[in-house]
Structure 1
Amino acid sequence: MSVGTVLAWAGGVVAAFFVGALNPATTIARLLGTDLASSGSGNPGATNAGRVLGRKWGVVVGVLDVLKGLVPALVAGHLVGPHAAYAVGIAAVLGHVWSPFLRGRGGKGVATTLGAILGVHPWVALVVVVVFAVAVALTRWVAAGSIFGAFAMIVVAALIWTGHAPGDAWTALWLLAIALLVLARHRNNVLGWWRQRHLDENA
């Protein structure tokens, strides 16, 4: 790999990280006179934006968050190849999750993850969206959709790894990495659900 190629990859990853770090939920909330950090769940993501600002704004934020992952992945995939798209895609997700513009805070990365996957493997994104939608419809809980969507990515990664779905080892590892990141960002949701279930069983 030439020095120029290494610099191009590094520049792409850094640029994608800062694109991901831009937080439309917080920006829109401020323009509307609301501090999202002290409203609702306090999370600077689409779900909380929809809860605090209204469903319309939640959809707008969600679309913008998807684009933060989609555009860098598409550009890198077109100019360099899928492995570069993986690198900038996960960089965008990391920027969203730990935004330097929000002092290291950020959203849970679900929409940006979906965008990154959509930019490289639309069929995987379709699987994730279907699983997400079914889980939300059954539970009426967006976090459950995100968690089950992440598990769907792990299943797809396993299928790719074993040769039962298209893709190489890097594809499988990439999907596994971002799925685990999404699950880690939802650990409080899982713990809260577990505690509530325990309380209900002992009530």
Structure 2
Amino acid sequence: MEINLILYAVFTYLLASIPFGLIVGKLFGKDVRKEGSGNIGATNVTRVVGKKAGILVFILDSLKGFLPVYFSKYIFETKYVAILALVAVLGHCFSIFLKFKGGKGVATAIGVLYALSFKSALIVSLFWLGVFLTTGYVSLASVLSAGISWSVLHVISGSIEYTLSAFLIGLIIIFKHKDNIKRFLEGRENRFIYKD
């Protein structure tokens, strides 16, 4: 069990570490680390490359969180699934392929959440969409969604292990958005604008 868990955790980390935003950007002749916000996530890819590329990156980043966690539920106990959920987000945010730098973890985290609890993820997704459509700020929607995700998951799933994992994931996402939070408080944060 321990060897299998370790191998699965390594696989999950490596899969989640794949910087799809960087890869897709380069396919279009762009290094997203050097343009826009400099982030490799779907939001910056959309700004720098375009909507279709951004949607593709969002799907790929979500799947690298969803797939390993979803299948782990059929192999491991709940407490280990919760750990693997955290590993997936850590992989994206601190990628071994980018010298332990990475994205802000939102798409990967929502993929993880869908794997843990579809109902919880749907509620958080709708909350995110509501905040975004109301304010126009991706960062605000992401930070607030990260802040409530663990409580929604706790109410829906009742799993302490999942709740703790989601709480830690939320803290990671909020930490990765620290510059956005600072800009928002100073009134300098940019609203999201699509690029066709």
The TM-score, its normalising length taken from structure 2, stands at 0.91
Structure 1 or 2: larger helix share? Answer: 1
Match in the other structure for 1:195: 186
Q: In the TM superposition, what are the counterparts of 1:1-203 in structure 2 within 5 Å?
A: 5-156=1-152, 160=154, 164-196=155-187
Residues 29, 165 of structure 1: CA spacing in aligned structure 2 closer, same or farther, 3 A cutoff? closer
Cα distance in 1 for partners of 2:16, 2:131 equals 26
CA distance in 2, matches of 1:166, 1:17: 25
Amino acid at match of 2:170: A
Paired residues of 2:78 and 2:161 also in contact (CA < 8 A): no
SS at match of 1:196: coil
Instruction: State whether residues 76 and 82 of structure 1, in contact with CA within 8 Å, keep that contact through their aligned partners in structure 2.
Output: no
2:191 aligns with: none
Contact 2:132 2:138 in 1 (8 A): yes
Write out per-residue CA displacement over residues 61-112 of structure 1, whole angstroms, 9 at most, x where no aligned residue: 0000000000000111122243332222211110100111111211000000
Specify the SS of the correspondent of 2:185.
helix
**Aligned residue identity for 1:184:** F
Give the stretch that moved more between structures: 83-92 or 96-105. 83-92
What CA distance in whole angstroms lies between the structure 2 residues aligned with 1:49 and 1:150?
Answer: 21
Structure with more contact order per residue of length (Cα contacts < 8 Å, sep ≥ 6): 2
Unmatched 5+ stretches in structure 2:
189-196
Q: Which runs of 4+ in 1 moved over 3 A?
A: none
TM-score, normalisation: structure 1: 0.88
Structure having the higher Rg = 1
Distance in 2 (CA, whole Å) between partners of 1:122 and 1:82 is 16
Secondary structure of the structure 2 residue equivalent to 1:37: coil
Matches of 1:168 and 1:32, distance apart in 2: 43
Q: Structure 2: which amino acid aligns with 1:176?
A: F
Where 1:79 maps in the other structure, the secondary structure is: coil
Query: Aligned partners of 2:176, 2:124: CA distance in 1, in Å?
Result: 17
Asked if 2 retains the 8 angstrom alpha-carbon contact of 1:77 and 1:83, the reply is no
Once the two structures are TM-superposed, the CA of residue 154 in structure 1 deviates from its matched residue by 3.7
